[in-house]
Amino acid sequence: MVKKRFIAGAVCPSCSASDTLMLIIESKGSETVECVECGYEASEPESKPAAPELDEGMIGLFKP
Ligand SMILES: [Zn+2]
């Protein structure tokens, strides 16, 4: 199953159009970014934002 969704606020590096980039998530888990305006395509290798370690720290501090 392939999921597609638009990336809000994203600007295409190829045609500079905004809100035309779609994130395509394949069943394998690989992610591809595609521009519906110009056909620009790019794989998205581990560009996930680093998870904030704040939660872990807060749990550590919060001991009853
Ligand atoms: Zn484009």
- Quick check: 37 and 12 in contact, CB under 8 A? yes
Q: How far is the CA of 8 from the centre of ligand 1 (A)?
A: 14
Would the pLDDT of 25 be above 70? yes
The total domain count for the chain is 1
Would the pLDDT of 21 be above 70? yes
Would the pLDDT of 29 be above 60? yes
Asked, for residue 62, whether it belongs to a domain, the answer is no
Centre a 10 Å sphere on the Cβ of residue 11 and count the other Cβ atoms it contains: 14
Asked, for residue 39, whether it belongs to a domain, the answer is yes
Q: How far is the CA of 13 from the centre of ligand 1 (A)?
A: 7
Q: How far is the CA of 1 from the centre of ligand 1 (A)?
A: 25
Would the pLDDT of 24 be above 80? yes
Asked, for residue 63, whether it belongs to a domain, the answer is no
Asked, for residue 13, whether it belongs to a domain, the answer is yes
Asked, for residue 23, whether it belongs to a domain, the answer is yes
- Please report, for the domain that includes residue 18, its CATH number: 2.20.25.190
Would the pLDDT of 56 be above 80? no
Domain enclosing residue 29, as ranges? 3-46
